[in-house]
Amino acid sequence: MAGSDNYHYVKALSYDDCWSVFVQHAFENRNICAHPSLEVIGKKIVQKCGGLPLAAKTLGGLLRSKSKDDEWEDVLYSKIWNFPDKESDILPALRLSYHYLPSHLKRCFAYCSIFPKDYEFDKKELVLLWMAEGLIQQSPKGKKQMEDMGSDYFCELLSRSFFQLSSCNGSRFVMHDLINDLAQYVSEEICFHLEDSLDSNQKHTFSGSVRHSSFARCKYEVFRKFEDFYKAKNLRTFLALPIHMQYYDFFHLTDKVSHDLLPKLRYLRVLSLSHYEIRELPNSIGDLKHLRYLNLSCTIIQELPDSLSDLHNLQTLVLFRCRRLNRLPRGFKNLINLRHLDIAHTHQLEVMPPQMGKLKSLQTLSKFIVGKSKELGIKELGDLLHLRGKLSILDLQNVVDIQDARDANLKDKHHLEELLMEWSSNMFDDSQNETIELNVLHFLQPNTNLKKLTIQSYGGLTFPYWIGDPSFSKMVCLELNYCRKCTLLPSLGRLSSLKKLCVKGMQGVKSVGIEFYGEPSLCVKPFPSLEFLRFEDMPEWEEWCSSESYPRLRELEIHHCPKLIQKLPSHLPSLVKLDIIDCPKLVAPLPSLPFLRDLIVAECNEAMLRSGGDLTSLITLRLENISNLTFLNEGLVRFLGALEVLEICNCSELKFLLQSGVGFENLSCIRHLVIVMCPKLVLLAEDQPLPCNLEYLEINKCASLEKLPIGLQSLTSLRELSIQKCPKLCSLAEMDFPPMLISLELYDCEGLESLPDGMMINGENRNFCLLECLKIVHCPSLICFPRGELPSKLKELEIIDCAKLQSLPEGLILGDHTCHLEFLRIHRCPLLSSFPRGLLPSTMKRLEIRNCKQLESISLGFSSPNLKMLHIDDCKNLKSLPLQMQSFTSLRDLRIYDCPNLVSFAEEGLSLNLTSFWIRNCKNLKMPLYQWGLHGLTSLQTFVINNVAPFCDHDSLPLLPRTLTYLSISKFHNLESLSSMGLQNLTSLEILEIYSCPKLQTFLPKEGLSIWIELHSKEVAFDSIYRAWGFLSIFFLLLAPTYPCSAIHFGESPMKCMARDGIGSCSRQQQKKGIFCIEPLDIKSSI
């Protein structure tokens, strides 16, 4: 937050409201009237809560399980209420809640102090961490698995309000800030969270007594961040956060962590390095004998060292989305305590390690790849009776012995909920044995507790009886994909809980008949629970015989079924969404669908839309590529009284929206109208206005459209108008401007010569237009704006690729500040020679000017207090920029590219608040670089300088601010030294790029630095860039203290030399680009 003014102070709850919160938690399953004495005591407790809802919730959760008066009185009269605590601000109510926790829950809760405030955690993830740290007790007589015990712990802490559901992600949890403070307090020095900023960590002490530590990832990690971990000889948790990220990204971690630090942390139980760009683990990983949790998900590791098989205590191994992983250790069978193996999305892993069946404790096995040898066969699953959750069995074509399928014993795996069975998609040829595959699938019958089943690329002619058997009463989702040889679908109508059914790629099916519904019953209709049904990619399907089925079906999708000719089921009373795509022979009118809200019809025959049943609830209609559709038929339109969204795309014969004589009376509710790629469209409506409730109108790629509909001024609800690629549309000058229009977009209208007069402010139209956003892109015939000033409410103006535009509109820059523009972008306007003189509007935040070759100057005056971004690019004749840039106090991002005639800018200094400054190819600048005052830009993080010619004659560059994280220097052809730049002071630097500086000899200071370095060769060949071998020697000596001088081979390229001797790494693609990535190293040697 920027300051105290941004805080919103919330008043305490009234006593009655606080009592209500307390009752909700304390008497959740009890009648308060039946416990009058508890009610009296409870009201006294609530008085001590001070109106704080969190206090009421936690105490209520504490007392929920207590039913005796004395237990409640113990809380009421506890001395903790009166404890003076000068060292902590923890609420007494929260301390009480913690005090009365059972000891095992206290330990689990204290462990959560490794999470920073607002961190969202997953229940299963946290339970696995608790298990690894030995925080979960064994259940009496071993009746419960540890995972189930941990789940109970979690639910108990949740019910006591130590955890709460995240408001951003309903599947994850958070701790209230005050609860997080409590966790930090009770964990003392045992747990520690390392912040992502090194400076932030200086406020906290990392002691040798720390047992559990987490840390926030940085894009480029330097080893200095982790130096304190050498003190923690007894560290048990080393956890990178977040454990799983919503997006897929890589972070860079110095190899010194895995090769030097981790081997010294011999008592580690939890190790997570997920999302780091790790290619390999050292063999020393096998020495971490106590390790129980290892997470390498989303790394680029290719194989794990065989020494990992020595981790006999390992319980959890997470390799999720390790897309380059191709092998697991051969001794994997020795991990006898392994309970969770996540290898989902490891697409290059094509074989399992042998004898997986020995891992009898496994509960999570995301996939099993069936091999051809016995020790890799499917029978290895037989003894894995504790498997739960989801299992994918791949390469089932390798099962040739039916007994092996029987021995897999899927029937006895009671806790499996999701099962995928997949044969290779490349096996559909004569070599595929239909009988064997039928028998294999028959004996792979799972337990009836299964909730989701997917069968993929099965090659049998029929399905075994168990698929669709009513005993699978918990089945909610079933997918049959690319079972190309099957000619009949299995009987699925009796699956009483089935909600989602997808049938795809069944090339042999010609008819969906009564067999699909199962044996008829007077009591229960087929598919009693089905809500979603999809048929897709069924090229031979012709007939759909239906009865009064699908009583709850809400969504129906039929895609790419080109031979389907029969009409849809006539009785779909609950259907709300219907998609029909690529079914050209389906010509029967739509049935009566009184509750249908969304309809998509694409690549179908127009006959479907001529008439139909009841569609009076339809809200959204999308029509795409409908053959022979010239207008919307009256028989359809009369049912569209509730329609709000109409989109028509790629209908090549469409000429009018409605047929002659049909008005918009039945389309009066339309708010969103889009017409795209209708080349014969002449008019939207003939001599009548569009629906009056229209809010959004888009017309795109309608080559024959010459004018817009009449009466636009009557559309008082129209907010957005977008016209794109309508080349015959020449003039909008006489367009009736919609009075409430906020956004106008004109793209690729090559014939457009004039804009609407009504959008400008003049004597007749003062402050009437409400336009806020105006975008004009590739309108090469446009010469000027209409007479008048821009609308006073306009915030965003983009003018791009207007070849004949000679001047900007009036009122863009005026002293009276009638314009409230915030964003101005002008690109590729080659005839624009001048920028209006005067002051920028005080509201301006972003200004971009690119490729305006005739523009000579930009004079913006002093008043630009809100300007945050200024980009000037490829203005060949530009000679000067605003002189008073130091007055742009909000300016954060300044970029000046390809302005070869620019001779001056910022003569009085740059904005002190700049965070990013890029300047390239401005070779005629006169002011010396040392006069720019770069060292005073204490917020600068990014500085890129390229081909600024006058400075090539100097021997050095000036000192730079220590806040820099990214520095790029290039095309300084006479630069010989960087020693005066103070690189050793750039303690935040993450990326340094230097290229095309062929005379550079003194590269780094004697003190060295710790950074991620990239060397590039762009326009100059790599060898020629580094031909100054003295520079090369210094470069190598500084990079690696252990790198011997004799290893510098003259005549050898740096990439080959460094790669051969093991410094850094380089892919073939990087070699072609001349890029060598050096892992972050500590550089401490001197020249």
SS3 979: helix
CA distances for 928 relative to 367, 906, 931, 958, angstroms: 63, 12, 6, 10
Q: Does the pLDDT of residue 1019 top 90, yes or no? A: no
pLDDT value of residue 84: 66
Per-residue pLDDT, 62: 83
Residue 660 has pLDDT above 60, yes or no: yes
Predicted local confidence at residue 860, as pLDDT? 60
Cβ–Cβ under 8 Å, residues 575 and 554: yes
Residue 883: pLDDT band by 50, 70, 90 thresholds? low
Span of 776-780, 814-818, 989-993 with lowest mean pLDDT = 814-818
- Which stretches within 112-224 are classed as H helix? 123-132, 146-159, 177-187, 198-201
What count of other Cβ atoms lies within 10 Å of the Cβ of residue 1077? 15
Give residue 980's pLDDT: 67
Residue 708: DSSP 8-state: P
Of 80 and 846, more confident: 846
Q: Which residues pair with 342 in a beta bridge?
A: 318
Question: What is the residue-averaged pLDDT of the chain?
Answer: 83
The mean per-residue pLDDT over the stretch 154-164 comes to: 92
Least confident of 15-24, 57-66, 383-392, 1052-1061: 1052-1061
At 9 the pLDDT is 52
Arithmetic mean of pLDDT, 852-864: 73
Residue 633, pLDDT score: 86
463/396 Cα distance (integer angstroms):
15
What value does the mean pLDDT take over residues 878-902? Answer: 85
- Angstrom CA distances, 670 to 116, 600, 710, 715, 741, stand at 48, 16, 17, 12, 17
pLDDT at res. 155? 94
User: How much is the pLDDT for 418?
Assistant: 98
Mean pLDDT of 130-136: 97
Q: Which of 4-18, 134-148, 187-201 has the highest mean pLDDT?
A: 134-148
Of 1013 and 286, which is predicted with more confidence? Answer: 286
Q: What is the pTM of this model?
A: 0.83
- Per DSSP bridges, beta strands 1012-1015 and 1076-1078 are antiparallel
pLDDT of the residue at 951: 53
pLDDT, tens only, 588-612: 888 889 999 999 999 999 988 887 6
Most confident of 215-224, 474-483, 788-797: 474-483
pLDDT at res. 88:
62
* Average pLDDT, integer, range 535-553: 89
Summarised one tens digit per residue, pLDDT across range 1056-1082 is 433 333 334 444 444 433 333 333 333
**pLDDT confidence band for 41 (50 / 70 / 90):** confident
Are 707 and 729 within 8 A, CB to CB? yes
Q: Is the pLDDT of residue 953 over 50?
A: no
Using CA atoms, how far apart are residues 845 and 53, in angstroms rounded to an integer?
42
Res. 1015: pLDDT tops 50: no
Choose between 506 and 811: higher pLDDT. Answer: 506
pLDDT digits (tens, 9 = 90+) for 446-466: 999 999 999 999 999 999 999
pLDDT (tens digit per residue) in 333-348: 999 999 999 999 999 9
CB 528 within 8 A of CB 496: yes
Confidence of residue 935 (pLDDT cuts 50, 70, 90): confident
State the CB neighbour count (10 A cutoff) for residue 847.
22
Which pLDDT does position 1036 carry in this prediction?
28
Residue 723 has pLDDT above 90, yes or no: yes
- pLDDT at residue 939, rounded to an integer: 93
Name residue 646's beta-bridge partners: 621, 673
CA–CA separation, 1063 and 425 (whole Å): 43
H helix intervals, 978-1061: 1022-1025, 1029-1039, 1054-1060
Distance (Å) of CA 649 to CA 85, 154, 635, 729:
70, 51, 20, 19
